[in-house]
Structure 1
Amino acid sequence: MTPRVLKETLEEWAQEARVPRDLADRALRRRGRRRFAAFLAPALATGIVVLAVMLVVPWLRAAGPAPVRPAVSSSGAPLRQVIPLRPADDPPVKVTFDERSRGGVLTDTRDSPPKKMIAAGRVGVSAYWIWHPRATADGETLDRTWYLLDQVTLRYEKTDWGYLDVAPGLRYAAVLEKELPVRRIGIFHMETRRVLAWIPVDQPVAAVAWSPDGTRLVATAYAENPDRRSDDSAQCPPSDGGGTDTAGAVAGPRRWSMRTSRTGFYVVDVATATAGEFRAIDPCVVDNMNTRRDFRWSDDGTLLYERSIVQGQPDVFYDVEGNRHAAPADYLAKESKAGLSPNGRLLAGRDGLPTAVTERATGKVVGRQRVLQLLAWADDDHLVALGCAGTCRNEFNNGLVLVSVDGAKTVQLSANRKNTTKPGSWEPVFTLR
């Protein structure tokens, strides 16, 4: 058990007026950690174990998510359900090569897909999914099998969820059940491995994404499974463009035919476990051949956007009410998933061997890296990237690496995937630690 996990667990227990229902689970899960005694006084450790033994018998057979007890007023009337979200700590500032430190480099170069946690500096692989196509009567469905980080063991565990996303701080995950789309969103505690609450929605959703501050979700709604490819979804014909949008920008021509069942989105307030009003969005605004058209948050968490797949066509932004909005001033400069460095001084360049990092103020190239893609900033001097195996003869034979901005130092983080275009390949999800 890490000191942070121990401290937060004890604080959480102390804040509860009654004995928590999952206390036995918490105690039993932590008994397996050999470092437990190093951080607890013997008397306190003994007391917790004895209490766990006393409490475990009545609850050992309890199954399913732990219910959240509704809050009540002094008169006994129920109040709005509240999830006691603990704010995320600031991510580590620097990469260190001591795995015991918060910014330490953690690798698994033996297993593919990975079994042990992969992380460097401010980011970690919080989850990953493995994809397999499945034939259906009217087409094909892309099935995802999700693996989620266990914060206690620091290993990835297979889940039964159909879709998930992890909040900054690696403490909570938003989860959706199988058979997408679904009409409720779960908030899953990654240390106790319990669903804290289910948040109902009227329109079925098939994707969730946390806001940068970890307090809200955007849930993208679909009429049918967006991973099912068929001819039944709504089709967007090519257009000649013209006219203006609500942000005053000239609407460009739509050059691609696209099928999707996306209907709109919800913005969810997680602490109160409530979804806001459903916002219907025209699915035919952006050029995109994908049936999955999930919404994402802008870097500052004030706007939502959907991506265009056409080079030169900007992504389209919305406010949280669903109105079209001009793009942030610095967003159009982004050319990779990594974007701006944490201090805002450097800009990660576009995909393709080799990649480059430029100084944002001058446009001067400050370093080139022998990697395929720049995925996330580990600190101001290092990035997590997609590196190719060997001499890069096959771009689809690749793995995660940590690379310095100047390209002089590369550390392998994961084993190389043999062919990312074949079923069974794993796709990482990066989250601030």
Structure 2
Amino acid sequence: MTTRELRKTLEEWAREARVPADLADRALRAGGRRRRSAFLALPAAATCAVVLAVALAVTRAGSAPSPVAVQPRDEVIRLAPAHEPPDKVTAGRSSVGSVLADTRDSPPRKMIAAGRWAVSAYWTSEWRKSGPDLRVRGRTWYLLDPVTATYDETEWGFLDVSPGLRYAAVLEKGLPVRRIGVFDMETREVRAWIPMDRPVGGVAWSPDGKSLVATAYTRHPDEEAVPDGAGQRVIESSRTGFYVIDVATATAGEFHPMALDFVDNSNPRRDFGWSDDGMLIYEWDLSPRHKVFYDLNGTPHAAPSDYVVTESKAGVSPDGTLLAGRDGLPTKVTERATGKVVGRQRVLQLLAWADDDHLIALGCAGKCGNEFANGLVLVTVDGKETVSLSANPARTRSWEPLFTLR
């Protein structure tokens, strides 16, 4: 019996016994915390425990003198506990930090992960004409199904995945849109739709998985001028501001208008993200590579005291001692305290720290046909070991991964 079939059966039992309608969800979450460590299937022992717990609840409810009040299903979204990423890269599909790869398919069909991070989703894109001298980048999103450990094509125009890989915040196609969906990745259902006063085109989860920052736009955030013979022509971003959303109650806070003149950024998409502690939001600057921070009311704010300006997406190692260097073959890792180079890697980009000794990178493990035939790899800090995580997509459609703490 699959997780979704089990959930349906438990809900039917709950309705017949007149117990709370979310009893099945609570029972599955108890098993889900165990099952997520294995990623693929609910262990048989956990399944028996869930069924036994529900059977006992049904017996007790059957003798109850009066019906139990049922809370509306989408009034409160019961979020997963705060995420604690694994410390080390491990072997074997049943361990939390295990290395999972798909080196046959590009774009991938099977789950890709290593250590702390998983590819929770990815997108492909194509350009379409949107007006005189204008074009829009249309995205096709593929979202991880944590039950089957595979990626499914979605109907969404934009999305982000919460830490722990349980929920996705989704926006429908035709950006910007006036509602945000909270999509349960295990049941493959939208748990709630959050109405917005102004249309939004981007959304990002807070580090604790309890809040969202949604960026508002007046037109499609991926619309730009068609390049002419002289190069790329620039049109101003249509970003107007942002909302901070409480996910559990599916409610949006006040709209915070934001001017475009604080950051030297010519991109039409200028989304906001979260600081590591979830206390501030930021916007990427283009050059140099650093973040410009604001408080949750949109007021410019000093960077967190432990913030480090980095030249790579990977940034600082989990233990805070090492720093990933800038893009370009070869890359390097330095010791923060001394600036000493502790390793060089034959890769193009360092994307994320899998643990203190390994990084996820864009590169090539083995022989590649040309310098652009690069996929995701796991590489050691000293650069001596490199393992392929994805196929090299030189002759296939390119795709952009979304990394999420698992």
CA distance 1:216–1:99, shift in 2 (3 Å): same
CA distance 1:332–1:229, shift in 2 (3 Å): same
Deviations along 1:279-306, one digit per CA (max 9) or x if unpaired, are: 1111232222211111111122111111
AA paired with 2:91? F
Residues 8-407 of structure 1: pairs in structure 2 closer than 5 A:
17-20=19-22, 37=44, 39-41=46-48, 44=51, 70=72, 81-138=75-132, 139-230=134-225, 259-311=236-288, 314-388=290-364, 394-407=370-383
Q: Provide the C-alpha distance between the structure 2 equivalents of 1:106 and 1:184, rounded to a whole number of angstroms.
A: 34
Q: Provide the C-alpha distance between the structure 1 equivalents of 2:41 and 2:203, rounded to a whole number of angstroms.
A: 36
Q: Provide the C-alpha distance between the structure 2 equivalents of 1:102 and 1:34, rounded to a whole number of angstroms.
A: 13
Q: Provide the C-alpha distance between the structure 2 equivalents of 1:120 and 1:394, rounded to a whole number of angstroms.
A: 26
The corresponding residue for 2:398 is 425
Deviations along 1:55-103, one digit per CA (max 9) or x if unpaired, are: xxxxxxxxxxxxx9548xxxxxxxx932111214411111012122111
Give the SS at the match of 1:40.
helix
CA distance 1:162–1:43, shift in 2 (3 Å): closer
Q: What is the Cα deviation at residue 44 of structure 1?
A: 3.8
Q: Provide the C-alpha distance between the structure 1 equivalents of 2:180 and 2:400, rounded to a whole number of angstroms.
A: 22
Q: Provide the C-alpha distance between the structure 2 equivalents of 1:193 and 1:143, rounded to a whole number of angstroms.
A: 23
Deviations along 1:92-128, one digit per CA (max 9) or x if unpaired, are: 1110121221111000000000000000111100000
Q: Provide the C-alpha distance between the structure 2 equivalents of 1:34 and 1:340, rounded to a whole number of angstroms.
A: 34
Give the SS at the match of 1:259.
coil
Q: Provide the C-alpha distance between the structure 1 equivalents of 2:20 and 2:236, rounded to a whole number of angstroms.
A: 52
Q: Provide the C-alpha distance between the structure 1 equivalents of 2:174 and 2:23, rounded to a whole number of angstroms.
A: 30
AA paired with 1:148? L
Q: Which moved more, 1:89-98 or 1:386-395?
A: 386-395
Deviations along 1:210-263, one digit per CA (max 9) or x if unpaired, are: 1111111110110010112249xxxxxxxxxxxxxxxxxxxxxxxx96511011
CA distance 1:17–1:207, shift in 2 (3 Å): farther
TM-score by length of structure 1 reads 0.77
Q: What is the Cα deviation at residue 365 of structure 1?
A: 1.2
Are the equivalent residues in 2 in contact too, given 1:106–1:117 (CA < 8 A)?
yes
Q: Provide the C-alpha distance between the structure 2 equivalents of 1:97 and 1:20, rounded to a whole number of angstroms.
A: 36
Q: Provide the C-alpha distance between the structure 1 equivalents of 2:302 and 2:119, rounded to a whole number of angstroms.
A: 32
Aligned residues: 366
Are the equivalent residues in 1 in contact too, given 2:20–2:71 (CA < 8 A)?
no
TM-score by length of structure 2 reads 0.82
Q: Provide the C-alpha distance between the structure 1 equivalents of 2:100 and 2:75, rounded to a whole number of angstroms.
A: 38
AA paired with 1:359? E
Give the SS at the match of 2:354.
strand
The corresponding residue for 2:31 is none
Q: What is the Cα deviation at residue 273 of structure 1?
A: 1.0
Q: What is the Cα deviation at residue 136 of structure 1?
A: 2.5
Report percent identity of matched pairs. 63
Are the equivalent residues in 2 in contact too, given 1:286–1:315 (CA < 8 A)?
no
Structure 1 stretches of 5 or more lacking a match?
Answer: 52-67, 72-79, 232-255
Are the equivalent residues in 2 in contact too, given 1:122–1:378 (CA < 8 A)?
yes
> RMSD of aligned C-alpha atoms?
3.3
Deviations along 1:122-170, one digit per CA (max 9) or x if unpaired, are: 1100000011111223321100000000011010001000100000000
Q: Which moved more, 1:388-397 or 1:132-141?
A: 388-397
Q: Provide the C-alpha distance between the structure 2 equivalents of 1:2 and 1:348, rounded to a whole number of angstroms.
A: 42
Structure 2 stretches of 5 or more lacking a match?
Answer: 29-34, 59-69, 227-232
1:415 maps onto 2:388 in alignment: no
Q: Provide the C-alpha distance between the structure 1 equivalents of 2:76 and 2:178, rounded to a whole number of angstroms.
A: 20
Give the SS at the match of 1:260.
coil
